Structure 1
């Protein structure tokens, strides 16, 4: 039950308002001055402050400013007479949720209070979730509470202190560079350079010079000696992203570095010793590339000392809520939106769970960033999302497998059964999560599982 703090220097008014709001299902606290209300706020959990504008000692504006310094999200509704409407507008500019003119209709007051309290409830839920993300589900900006991501965190903790070569595999957008950076900052090399190179971004000739450096006069335009990324990363970590794009010639040179820990600059003859930890990443299956003959088998085994595989987002739906909370916190602060975006509508969340996320976490981040820019409200609505995303998400909700000659009841039963199976798969057969996706209670889901004889399907998955 939410608690409303009523502040008014007229005691009879606080009594009347308490009776109205308690009849509407709220708990109430009362104060007859600004200082008294601040003392109550320091000792009690309050979900909304309803305060008069004109009071002795501390008026409503001064009280609002003090409240917002303590909790910028706590909604404050100002009560004002016709003669102080300008002050009420000033209060709105300073963060009041709204104002209401005296005398007012009780139903209108309750409506305003319900809306403000509902908004604050979402804010608090997201605040608590964000805190949980920071405390339990985050590892150096990598967010996840799913079993797969907890396993990744465990491997990082074990491997980071060593100098073993790590191969990170995963689709684009799953966070491979974040894992590489986490390995670096948790290693004894954390105070040394972390150097990242995207092997697919440069031609073979440019990439060779970028990695190994070159001597003066090695080629046209080489007017001076230049150190390559291996030398720049000396004593630190070199991260080679999209390593599956390396040419066979460069693979040979990389293999020599891993075997002998020396490089030769382009145009040079003198070996240069390097002390680096190599972390490589790829969105390809290097085993398949080896089988095709486009990747050296000996180099693959040199790289694959410690493999880390990042699953696609569609296989770790449990991570969507903490990821959404993390990105909302990040971009609301960066964009300084007004009002601050604090959460997403349930329909948005449903679309997020249903969507396949081909772009993985990076795509989710982009969708959230765009929605925060577009949203005129504190809660992101479906209308704030990119149209192509919404269209693609809705396309995954189609009803398939319905016989052409099925009658209505057969059709409804078949659709319900298919939706339950799909939700169970998406939830990795966690029934509480599947029930949440379907918008029903766990007991209701259990009854339907028995109805459609899906227990064997669950046990044999």
Structure 2
């Protein structure tokens, strides 16, 4: 059975320690005990505790000073101070230093249970508040996966079955196919749906700060670390952590990530303290990780840890029957967003969309629709609007030789867009609906150095 939480009892009275241990263990808590300040410091440095019961009258140490040390070492731990000398002044001083509650000796088992339960709930709400603030900043809207094609129905069936388990899921597919959206959908359908969904964009994080983002850091861990920071693993506790473009992380971070995946324990940067995490892992990549393993760029052991359940998302060109549905969905969304009286796409525009190869997949279609809505001059978007929104320049290659390889179709289109953007890779990537790193990798593969 999973423990309710980890509790540390710090009291020099063996009778108090043992009695509290018995009460809390029976309640389902994982309990550690310390009879001295030295023992307490060692345990707090090595492990994460949800709740700490601290006797303010320990021999050889000022209780309030030890409280301050604990709060500096682990700001998220909820400290309940206990003493036989409960005065208003002591209580106020303890609360000012961050104590979560005050418990006066002698206390009965029910008072102890309530104090620990309240402190645990306070920690949960604190972490939830941090998560919600970050989630609000990253909000991407309602989870909605559009499509009726056999390929997408198969993907959604696999996702629904995977959601009912707690197994690690690896989502593969080209950029812009909807891997992030599917990850959110799996989380929403899972038993962890009430928990947090925390996304980690492995393609945009600075490598030197990646470890801090994942595992958090303590104050003073490195230059600029002026305060404690909770990592994304700990923020995702009880929910799902999603690694987008996991093939982009370095080998040394892969090793640390493997340890976290295997042991479900992490250690903040600059600390030896172990933090237990209960997370479900979903990862996504547009790379062939087996090829990356063969090339020595991705750890084989981490690959097998991630490749428990694998779902391949099809490119948009392999589910063309979904293009009208997607186009209508995006048209309504951006007409509302930009307050434009746009009602429909003309049959000619839809026909052009159905012929086009969409190398940037659904993301490119979405970006194209938004541009069309922004530049629309009448309720129905027609062929003349394609040029105005920068789409007509791509039209000459909409009908290509039947025997032209798909890779060549993509190459011609990407290079044409790049030329139209004057060689500006950032702008070209935006128009293509892919990230700059993906564009750079494609150009490198084709031997192009614009």
Q: Is the 8 A contact 1:169 1:283 kept in 2?
A: yes
Asked whether 1:335 is paired with 2:365, we answer: no
Shift of 1:399: 5.7
Deviations 1:425-460 (A, max 9, x none): xxxxxxxxxxxxxxxxxxxxxxxxxxxxxxxxxxxx
Distance in 1 (CA, whole Å) between partners of 2:235 and 2:395 is 45
Give, in angstroms, the shift of residue 256 of structure 1. Answer: 0.7
Answer whether contact 1:200 1:242 (CA < 8 A) is retained: yes
Separation in structure 1 between the aligned mates of residue 233 and residue 287 of structure 2, nearest angstrom: 24
Match runs of 1:232-311 below 5 Å? 232-311=235-314
Structure-2 residue corresponding to 1:362: 363
Report the CA distance between 1:379 and its aligned residue: 1.1
Within a 5 Å distance, the mapping from 1:203-218 to structure 2 comes to 203-218=206-221
Mapping for residues 43-122 of structure 1, pairs under 5 Å: none
Name the counterpart of 1:145.
148
What is the RMSD computed on CA atoms of the aligned residues? 1.6
Deviation at residue 398 of structure 1 after TM alignment: 4.5
2 CA distance for matches of 1:231 and 1:386?
A: 49
Residues 395-444 of structure 1: per-residue CA shift (max 9 Å, x gap) = 2325678xxxxxxxxxxxxxxxxxxxxxxxxxxxxxxxxxxxxxxxxxxx
The answer for the alignment partner of 1:419 in structure 2 is: none
Match of 1:98 in 2: none
Question: Secondary structure of the equivalent of 1:142?
Answer: coil
**Correspondence for 1:126:** none
Q: Distance in 2 between matches of 1:175 and 1:289?
A: 22
Q: Which shifted more, 140-149 or 243-252?
A: 140-149
Pick aligned residue for 1:322 from 307, 322, 325: 325
Note the C-alpha offset of 1:346.
Answer: 1.5
Aligned with residue 392 of structure 2, among 386, 390, 395:
390
The equivalent of 2:162 in structure 1 is 159
- Number of residue equivalences: 261
Q: 1:386: how far off?
A: 4.8
Which residue number corresponds to residue 134 of structure 1?
none
Q: What is the CA distance between 1:203 and its match in structure 2?
A: 2.2
Could you list the per-position Cα deviations for residues 229-287 of structure 1 after superposition, in whole angstroms to 9, with x for gaps in the alignment? 00011101111111001111111111111111000111111211000111111111101
Aligned residue in 1 for 2:197: 194
Deviations 1:193-249 (A, max 9, x none): 111111111222211110011112111111222110000111011111110011111
Asked if 2 retains the 8 angstrom alpha-carbon contact of 1:173 and 1:363, the reply is: yes
Q: How far apart in 1 are the matches of 2:243 and 2:330?
A: 26
Is 1:180 the equivalent of 2:213?
no
Q: Name whichever of 378-387 and 208-217 sits farther off.
A: 378-387
TM-score by length of 1: 0.55
Deviation, 1:148, is: 0.9
Asked whether the 8 Å contact 1:347–1:382 carries over to 2, the reply is yes
Residues of 1 paired with 2:400 and 2:315: CA distance? 22
Give matches, 1:440-451, under 5 Å: none
Deviates more, 1:277-286 or 1:383-392: 383-392
Q: Is the 8 A contact 1:264 1:271 kept in 2?
A: yes
CA distance in structure 2 between the partners assigned to 1:398 and 1:164 by the alignment: 43
SS in 1 for 2:200: strand
Structure 1 contact 351–394 (Cα < 8 Å) conserved = no
8 Å CA contact 1:166, 1:278 repeated in 2: yes
Measure, in 2, the Cα distance between the counterparts of 1:346 and 1:218: 60
Alpha-carbon separation, structure 2, partners of 1:255 and 1:398:
46
Matched, 1:226 2:229: yes
Contact 2:352 2:398 in 1 (8 A): no
Compared with structure 1, are the counterparts of its residues 168 and 374 closer, same or farther at alpha carbon in structure 2 (3 Å cutoff)? same
Can you give the 5+ residue segments of structure 1 that lack an aligned partner in the other structure? 1-138, 402-461
Greater CA radius of gyration, 1 or 2? 1
What SS does structure 2 have at the residue aligned with 1:167?
strand
On the 8 A contact 1:341/1:378 being kept in 2, the answer is yes
Q: In the alignment, what sits opposite 2:351?
A: 350
Residues 210 and 368 of structure 1, relative CA distance in 2, 3 Å threshold: same
Change (3 A) 1:371 1:266: same
Following TM superposition, by how much is the alpha carbon of 1:393 offset from its aligned partner in structure 2, in angstroms?
2.8
1:425-436 aligned within 5 A: none
Q: TM-score under structure 2 normalisation?
A: 0.56
